[in-house]
Structure 1
Amino acid sequence: MSHPPSASSSFHLSLPRRAVFAVPDGAGVGIECRSGAVWVTLDRDLRDIVLAPGERFEASGHRPMLVSALEASCIAVSHAQPAAMPLAAARRRPSPWRLPALGLSPA
């Protein structure tokens, strides 16, 4: 018997010093520092969010998030709630994974 997917999923990630973990849409994503120290930055957010072991931050808006390791660190990444890009916003903004067309073709 299969179980429905959990509304909360998480994983641990080890980051060497100066490594950066990027989250394209940080809405509902939680970051907990397990060891070391990390700096969390959100697109268009002026706050400096530095996490020490045991501290946690959860993003609320639909915006890119970067987690930078200030020293060798381990973080727990969780999705407190499944996040989806609002349909209207997805239409206005091109995919961060798609390169702009420049009239070139792979050959």
Structure 2
Amino acid sequence: MQVRPQRLSLSLPKKAIFTLPDAHEVDIECQSGALWITIDHDRRDIVLEPGEHFRSASHESALVAALEPSCVRFSARRLSVAVAQEDAPQRTASPWRLWLRGMSPA
């Protein structure tokens, strides 16, 4: 029996945050706009632009923040999601693409 992946597409306003409690094997695709992804216990800043994908190998939670109005698609065998009501996540380092969009860590 072949299991079809679950898919979820969302339109996120600027600075909206979407939480994945377990990002393991979840494919995150930026369809429009720009997304900033942070994963618990991972110092990387992942920024996706239209057409780019990211897939985490860890079982940590991930925050997906919209740097501008964005459309995102999540695909996985099993999705577990939660919505956060807060501003964009704060990090110790910021790639230049965040700075160009007027965002910088505190």
Output the TM-score relative to the length of structure 2: 0.69
Say if 2:80 is the partner of 1:44.
Answer: no
Query: 2:54 maps to which residue?
Result: 57
Partners of 2:49 and 2:55 in 1: CA distance: 14
Please tell me the root mean square deviation across aligned C-alpha atoms, in Å: 2.0
Q: CA deviation at 1:7?
A: 3.8
Say if 2:36 is the partner of 1:35.
Answer: no
- Deviations 1:35-73, CA, capped at 9 Å, x for gaps: 000001100001110000000000111000000000000
Contact 1:28 1:60 in 2 (8 A): yes
SS at match of 1:25: coil
Specify the structure having the higher radius of gyration (Cα): 1
Contact 1:20 1:66 in 2 (8 A): yes
Contact 1:28 1:82 in 2 (8 A): no
Partners of 2:78 and 2:2 in 1: CA distance: 11
Query: Equivalent pairs: percent with the same residue?
Result: 47
- Deviations 1:47-103, CA, capped at 9 Å, x for gaps: 110000000000111000000000000001011x448xxxxxxxxxxxxxxxxxxxx
Partners of 1:18 and 1:65 in 2: CA distance: 15
**TM superposition outliers: structure 1 runs of 4+ over 6 Å:** none
Q: CA deviation at 1:6?
A: 2.9
- Stretches of structure 1 that go unaligned for 5 or more consecutive residues are 84-107
- Stretches of structure 2 that go unaligned for 5 or more consecutive residues are 80-106
